[in-house]
Amino acid sequence: MEAGVRRSPPIWVKTLFPFMAWLPNVNRRSFRTDLMAGLTGAVVVLPQGVAFAAIAGMPLEYGLYAAMVPAIIAALFGSSWHLVSGPTTAGSIVLFSVLSAYAEPGTAHYVALALTLTFMVGVIELGLGFARLGTLVNFISHSVVIGFTAGAAILIAASQLKHFLGMDIPRGLHPHEVLLHIGTHIVEINPYVVAVSVATLVSGLLFKRFLPKFPYMIAAMIFGSVVAYLFNTSLGQAVTGIKTVGALPASLPPLSMPDFSPETIKHLLPGAIAVTLFALTEAVSISRSLAVRSGQHVDGNQEFIGQGLSNMVGSFFSAYVATGSFNRSGVNYAAGARTPLAAVFAGLLLMVVVLLVAPLAAYLPNAAMAGILMLVAWGLIDFHHISLIFKTSRTEAMVLAVTFFSTLLMELEFAIMVGIIASLLVYLNRTSRPNVRVRVPDARLPNRKFNTDAELPECPQLKIVRVDGSLFFGAVNYVAERLREFTEREPRQKHLLMVASGVNFVDVAGAEFLTREATSRRAAGGSLSLYRLKEEPWNTLRRGDYLDKIGWDNVYLNKSEAIADIVRRKLDHDICRHCSRRIFNECKAMPGPEAPLIE
């Protein structure tokens, strides 16, 4: 073995311990780069973790706990080099929606349920990963994610208006009910609280616009806290009514224990499934988008496993549901992270940062938190893609709208399901209606290629169609109906040549449809022929003995062979003698009227 060449670990080692695949590539330079990226990530997550915990109805320190151990485990056992896991807006708001029906937010019972839900989400994610079902997230339309996050943004903003305006608003109201309540109690708005909220909001926007390299959330949090401090010291808290969050525990994440009672698991299972679907969609979509930029291959199944382990382990270290974070993963990549070691450093360094700055939360006003969450809510609405979707696709726009309004009007776990069902219905509608197009040789094209020009003449005995789409149980009725329409329009075309190059998959229903079509046409004096059949459909038809019923001699490899054999063996030559169309080269040799071959 040559000096300096490192041996790659065995495949089984990479499968059980995926970090062994990238760990040998760590060197002094990448270590230093990852350390700085991790430090940046630890600073960025500080205000986000607190804000997301507030959304989730958890004690604020739990948002920071969720960014510690889960980030480390997900980095070590996932497949993405740049994905950073932790608390997210969507995960937090779904968690709140699921648990607020069973316990008062912020209470010990609520926290216990959150940890139990987190463990359940981890088990489901891990099971899906081991079952190699990483492709499941591909069936969740991007429009569902955009619609849900936009709806979640409205809910977040509505839930924070009481802190933003400094007035009491009953819990559990829909956004329009919140606005109606404010309109009827407008005199209760606290101007000092509003001043702090607006100062936080505006400062955050200004820092984001003019000093994008500085963490704008931290800047907004500091500025809002200074304004609140000045108000309280000059006028007194009794006059201003500005309340603060209170000091956070300056401690490492304490050990915790989920509740494994069957009754609790039964109540939380529907919510756990909804959270899992959305969490995995976030994680895999983020990791794949970053992989495109970095040129890395992401294994969806391994990402499922990494996310599952991070939540299972995290639930024993006071962490609620964690998944891939859009913001922190983007910051991690932009900071120059070279390996997942950056996310490991981010989790470890956050523990150090929390020990130092947690007591300062005593100066953080609730109004400043509300202002920051308004910034988060605004950033969640993807105006660009919403506009693009409405311009380009009615069906995707419908899916987005259905998900958006479901998020506003329904429980969030069911809203996600409604969006997913809507996207699947759109997908099924598309796949169940494959293109069935008539094809005709065109003398105007090189080598007389097939064309779909309706003005071109067809053979009076042979119909040529191309099917673009799989022949499965959901599509066979549509294809059969289209073929029936062709037959009613031109009953003399008893022979059918199906161009099958666009058929990727044939199930039992599709195979039986082909045999029925062949049998019925044979009984009517015609035939069914297949041309350019792909390997997978071919194997399905062969294994089920369907080719015996269709006829092995009715399956062709190329167009010339198919048309030559059909014209020679199957067409009625008496009809050919009186045909003036003569669209095939083979028609030249046929006796008939003095009609030249169409050129």
- Tens-place pLDDT, residues 386-430: 999 999 989 999 999 999 999 888 877 678 788 888 888 888 888
Looking at mean pLDDT, say which of 4-13, 310-319, 424-433 comes out highest: 310-319
pLDDT of residue 292: 63
Q: Which of 461, 525, 523 is nearest to 497 (CA)?
A: 461
The percent of residues in the chain predicted with pLDDT above 70, rounded, is 95
pLDDT of residue 272: 92
- Could you give the residue range(s) of every CATH 3.30.750.24 domain in the chain? 435-589
400-438 burial, b at 16+ Cβ within 10 Å, e below that, comes to bbbbbebbbeebbbebbbbbbebbeebeeeeebebebeb
Assign residue 172 a region (left: φ > 0; alpha: ψ between -120 and 50; beta: otherwise). Answer: left
What are phi and psi for residue 85, nearest 5 degrees? -95, 155
> Considering the domain 435-589 in this protein, what is its CATH number?
3.30.750.24
Pick 293 or 184 by higher pLDDT: 184
The secondary element (H helix, E strand) that includes residue 435 is strand 435-438
pLDDT of residue 593: 58
pLDDT at 56 over 60: yes
Q: How far apart are CA 136 and CA 279, in angstroms?
A: 12
